[in-house]
Every structure is written in structure tokens, then in C-alpha cells.
Amino acid sequence: MKMAFSNLTSKAALLYDGWIKHADPRVEGFLLMSSPVPQTIIIGAYIYFVTSLGPKLMENRKPFELRQIMAFYNFGVVALSVYMTYEFLMSGWATGYSFRCDLVDYSRSPTALRMVRTCWLYYFSKFIELLDTIFFVLRKKEGQITFLHVLHHSIMPWTWWFGVKFAAGSQDSKNYTICVVVKPPYSINEKHVQMDTVNLKKNHLVIICIY
């Protein structure tokens, strides 16, 4: 049994090594890009905290008053989204990309490297946005932590790791741009619109981004 498991892990390691050698060398050294394992641990800890540990810790505590922190957070998310939209446009979508299925530019030209950095920044921003759910837990707003909400925040960084690792740019970056554009209105509206309306808008935005 032990030998069979050892053989299985060895084969899995060989398959992984053969697969990972096709990764884009331009992202070597970028935070969290060396392996999918660190982000998987982070996402697993996030799911455990927001669905189990966090609600239990808050069960007999008063909700935290986070209005000022959330205002700063929302402003930061909007500012980052605006910056990333500008960078996506200037690194391809407004300077040469078409809306056909263009091949990824794997060169080390300044524009191609700018796109790589912007794609990685978008990927990393998904970890920042995990705070959305953590704020819900700390404010005891468990009713806002829907399955779709947790699925979206869990799957986005994990899946886009592969996009950045193997194909940072070209058609793949269209999805980044869509999500970057739709994020600011959600961040702004969350404080000023009734929660049913916000949840409806959020669900539509999640569907767009996952697609």
C-alpha cells in the first residue's frame, strides 16, 4: 500500500513537472506564482474562517463597528480598479489588441511586460478582496455570506493563477478588464443601497466574472 502510494505521488510529481515547464518564465519571482500550493492554503483558510471559525468566534460577541475601515477599504478597491483599468488599456487594449482571438505576446517588450505585471496585480487583488467576506463575519452579517459569494471569492484567485502563470495577456485579459470595470460600482453602492438590491447586483457581477 505504501509503495503504491509512493508510486502514485512520484507519477503525480512527474506530471506536474512536465506541465509546469510550459509556464511563462516572465512571472518567475512574482509573489505566489511559484506554485499553486500557497494560494490553495490561503483560500482554504479563508473558506474555513468565513464559514465556520469566524461565525463561532463572533457568536457571543458584539459586531465590530468597521464603518471607517470599510470606507477606506472601498476607496482603495475603487482606486486600484481604476488604476488597473488604465494599465490594461495602455498595455494592450487601447494600444494594439484586437477583439479577435489574438495570440498571447510572450515577448519581453515593455508593453508585453506591462501587461504581465497588470495581470499579476489583478490576480493579487483577488486576495485583497477576501476582506469583503471577513468584514461580513466581523460585523455579524452572515446573511450576506451566500454560497455564490464564497464561491466567487474562492475560485477567482485559484483559477486566475493558471491564467497568469501560462497566458498573461491577450484575450485572457478581457475577463480581467470586465471584472475591474464592474467592481467599483459594487464597492461604492454597497454602503448606500438596500441590501436586497446590492445582493442582486452582486450576483449578476459574480456571474459575469466567473464566465
The number of beta carbons lying within 10 Å of the beta carbon of residue 126 is 22
- Secondary structure (3-state) at 171: coil
Instruction: Based on the residue annotation, tell me whether 149 is a catalytic residue of this protein.
Output: no
C-alpha closest to that of 119 among 211, 30, 210: 30
C-alpha closest to that of 122 among 74, 171, 168: 168
**How far is 96 from 177, CA to CA, in rounded Å?**
15
Burial of residue 139 (CB within 10 Å: 0-12, 13-18, 19+) is middle
**How far is 116 from 28, CA to CA, in rounded Å?**
11
Helix (H) or strand (E) holding 76: helix 67-88
What is the DSSP secondary structure assignment for residue 64, as one 8-state letter?
Answer: P
CB 193 within 8 A of CB 76: no
Please tell me which residue in 22, 152, 192, 204 is annotated as part of the active site. Answer: 152
**How far is 194 from 190, CA to CA, in rounded Å?**
8
What are the residue numbers of the active site?
Answer: 152
